Amino acid sequence: LLLAVAAATLAFATFLVVPAFAQSPIIIKFSHVVANDTPKGKGALKFKELAEKYTDGKVKIEVYPNSSLYKDKEEIEALQLGSVQMLAPSTAKFAPLGIKEFEALDLPWLFKDDATYSSAMKGTVGKWLFQKLEAKGITGLAYWDNGFHMVSSNRPLMKPEDFKGLKFRISGSKIADQYFRLLGSIPQIMAFSEVYQALQTGVVDGCENTASNYLTQKFYEVQKDITVSYHAHLQYAVIVNSKFWSGLPPDIRAQLEKAMVEATDYTNLIAHQENEDALAEIKKTGKTTLHYLSDADRKAWQEAMQPTYKWAKGRVGQEVLDLVAKELD
Ligand code: LMR
């Protein structure tokens, strides 16, 4: 009997000191809005694979793609409330948090190519932007690449005048709002999950996005003309709830950080090719016409959108514009 009492006491004592996280596996819900078969979708699955492997099953990553758990705005609220632990929103979507500085990355023709973009984001501006999130209880872990935006409607968009009077869906950034307005069109913020139907029913006339999103959301089915303009860049911030992240046992957090570094390298490596392949697929469907800008056309777009840069000072502030410019020197 004495032995049994001693064993029970020990078991009870052990129970008392067991931290909440020891009730394994630790579940990380990773919600995002795009398809699995995109750079971000594949990155999330790669992170799941590596994180579960490195933590030896102590952590389970549940990936919810395609807005199946939350739509754009709700997912950020859910992260702050702790209903979801990890997200990878486009950096164009932080204004509802009161953080506008990320929108500097949406300036038209800011990055001349993928290499310029990735070297810029490895510099100080990336870290500086992540500090802005901390005050909101959010920790930035990595930047994931997608690629450059194309733009579409049911008529060819070749000259700035072609945009006049058309309604375009934008994802959230006021910088995009501004450059569409400068072209004489009417931008409208809308959740990503609602875009296909809005294009189909004519709630909006057009949109901008990367080839992988056009393909996997089937936007090409409801847009007769796509201009491969590559006028602005789409990138993601992989973010976590700070309290959750800092509360993880340090060894587990280190394993997850390693998984994130590798998943980030993987995502950023495949992004360009994924979009090239998606563009070829879209072309093959024959359901839309792809248009390419001549040098003169591009110059006309750039001139029409140029005032966005001056306007941006009032929106995002000079500090972030200087930090971005420094990385582009
Ligand atoms: C959009 O809303 O167009 C994009 O942010 C979707 C995405 O996450 O790629």
DSSP per-residue string spanning 258-323: HHHHHHHHHHHHHHHHHHHHHHHHHHHHTSSEEE---HHHHHHHHHHHTHHHHHHHHHH-HHHHHH
SS3 (DSSP) at 241? strand
Which residues contact residue 199 at a Cβ distance below 8 angstroms, ignoring those fewer than 6 apart? Answer: 169, 205, 206, 207, 219, 222, 223
Task: Give residue 93's identity as a one-letter amino acid code.
Answer: K
315-323 contacts, C-beta under 8 A, 24 or more apart: 315/100, 315/103, 315/174, 315/175, 315/178, 316/100, 316/101, 316/103, 316/104, 316/175, 317/100, 317/101, 319/101, 320/101, 320/104, 320/125, 320/128, 320/129, 321/104, 323/123, 323/124, 323/125, 323/128
Exposed, middle or buried, 105 (CB in 10 Å: 0-12/13-18/19+)?
buried
- Residue the block writes with tokens 């294009």: 199
| Whether the CB of 33 sits within 6 Å of ligand 1 | yes
Tokens at residue 162, please? 């072609």
User: Which among 207, 216, 210 is positioned nearest to 232, based on CA atoms?
Assistant: 210
Please report the atom of ligand 1 found closest to the CA of residue 92. 5
Task: Give 93 Cα–ligand 1 centroid separation in angstroms.
Answer: 9
**Paired residues of 188 in beta bridges:** 169
Other Cβ atoms less than 10 A from the Cβ of 313: the count is 12
82 CA distance to ligand 1 middle (Å): 22
> Do the Cβ atoms of 233 and 104 come closer than 8 Å?
no
How far, in Å, CA of 16 to CA of 250, rounded?
Answer: 20
Place of tokens 């994931």: 144
Question: Which of 111, 60, 114 minimizes the C-alpha distance to 86?
Answer: 60
CA distances to 33, 144, 170, 231 from 238, rounded to whole Å, are 13, 7, 21, 23
Per-residue confidence of the chain (329 residues) as pLDDT tens digits? 555 555 555 444 444 444 445 567 999 999 999 999 999 999 999 999 999 999 999 999 999 999 999 999 899 999 999 999 999 999 999 999 999 999 999 999 999 999 999 999 999 999 999 999 999 999 999 999 999 999 999 999 999 999 999 999 999 999 999 999 999 999 999 999 999 999 999 999 999 999 999 999 999 999 999 999 999 999 999 999 999 999 999 999 999 999 999 999 999 999 999 999 999 999 999 999 999 999 999 999 999 999 999 999 999 999 999 999 999 98
pLDDT in tens, 101-118: 999 999 999 999 999 999
pLDDT at 24: 78
Question: Measured from the CB, is residue 192 less than 6 Å from ligand 1?
Answer: yes
CA of 1 to the centre of ligand 1 (A): 64
Q: Answer yes or no: is the C-beta of 308 below 6 A from any ligand 1 atom.
A: no
How far, in Å, is the centroid of ligand 1 from the Cα of 192? 6
* CB of residue 38 inside a 6 A radius of ligand 1: no
Strands 186-189 and 206-209: unpaired
Please give the structure tokens belonging to residue 204. 């909006």
Distance of CA 23 to CAs 17, 59, 62, 152, 308, Å? 12, 10, 17, 50, 51
219 lines ligand 1 (CB under 6 A): no
In this prediction the pTM is 0.92
Task: Tell me how far CA of residue 98 lies from CA of 46, 93, 140, 180, in angstroms.
Answer: 31, 10, 16, 22
Write down the pLDDT at residue 5.
Answer: 55
Give the pLDDT score at 239. Answer: 98
